[in-house]
Amino acid sequence: MIHFSLRILANGALLPSRRTPPLPDTASVLEQIDRLAASPLKEIAERLRKDLSDAEASTRSGHTAAADFILVYNRVKELLAGLPSSFGQRFFFDAALIQALSETWSSTAVKIPQMVIPRPAAVSATDGMALSEDERTGQRIFFMMIPGRDDLADIDLRTYPFMCHELVHVLLFKVNGVFTKAFESELDEYVRKLRLSSAADRGIARNRSKEAAARIEKLWRPTPNHKNWSHELAIDVIALWTTGPAYLDAYRNAIEVDTVQPYEVVQTHPPHAVRVQAMIHASKELGWPIQALEGKLAGWKKAFRTTNPYASAANQEVILAGVRAALSTCQTLRLPKCTPDRLKETKALIHRGETPSFGMDVIWSAWIKSASPHYDEWEADFIAGLLGLIR
């Protein structure tokens, strides 16, 4: 059976106050907690109720300030709003797969947090909350948004390599320094050289050099929230390391849409053209085929025009630095690596008609069977067999 538990840390005691200001009414929040107590997240509900009650009692007795209770109250409300509202078979399926992947990736070098809760959503994403005085001291809970409804019919295992992408976010939230230390040393050196070269420029050329340096700093500099180009590029590469060609195909299929803008510059994600270049470089190192991605990149060059912001920020030297740092992170953390031999083992397992245990074999099995004309029927039977493994 899958269990989730949570610990919320309360603030330290403050000097008693003579008058307690009005406190928020907790009735509606406690009703939500009661409903949660009847779900697989019962342990979380019990912890939330206790911490909210303890915080309120402490404030009403004058031992802590009202502001401290309001902080706990608001965090509990935010957490409740982020939790899934239904717990069908798909919830248990996704939760079991996340748990299995987390256990597989965890090693003596790193332990992936177990508090990763799947939630239906429109697009893949990961969001984390630290319920404590600060993110450094508190236990963190992660919501993994998975496209579709809480319905087995909405599962498409061919897209589940992106579950690995989101799990890498969780991993880097825990051990962020491994990647940032490796990447920032190269980024700092590149920016330093760029600024030195701009010192010799004059007029418009000098302004453009300064703008380019500032743009690279803004877009590529790693940040704690991962909303930058370097983290997203690294997460693609790490997902490729663990998932192999299944990730390449899932990504390529995701960008086979008319609305894709391969050179669009935004803060939170690098352009698709940058991500594809990074995956091509990483695939060469890992020995995976690159022809499909190279063809996609060539097609974009013919169909789209790049912009000055893209040209100045999508620097090959910085892209390669990100790839090197990501691959180095995989080695440092001793993450399991997808290899041709591991794929052969999974293929043999499928050929024997056996149901694999939860973990990477589930994702690899779907990738191996993806070209089958009877894929949908196979997937439905495959998922049914896996559900039988959940206790």
Beta bridge partners of 143: 117, 127
Would the pTM of this model clear 0.85, i.e. be above it? yes
Type of residue at 91: F
Report the helix count and the strand count for the chain, using DSSP H and E: 16, 3
In angstroms, the first-to-last Cα distance of the chain is 5
pLDDT at 156: 95
All residue ranges of the chain with pLDDT < 70 are 1-21, 108-109, 130-139, 197-207, 391
Q: Give the DSSP per-residue string, 169-232.
A: HHHHHHSHHHHHHHHHHHHHHHHHHHHHHHHT--HHHHHHHHHHHHHHHHHHS--TT--SHHHH
Q: Map residue 294 onto helix, strand or coil.
A: helix
E strands in the chain: 116-121, 125-130, 140-147
pLDDT at 184: 96
The answer to whether 75 and 131 are in contact (CB under 8 A) is yes
pLDDT at 10: 44
pLDDT at 25: 87
Q: How far apart are CA 48 and CA 54, in angstroms?
A: 10
pLDDT at 369: 96
Provide CB contacts within 8 A for 330, sequence distance 6+: 237, 238, 241, 242, 337
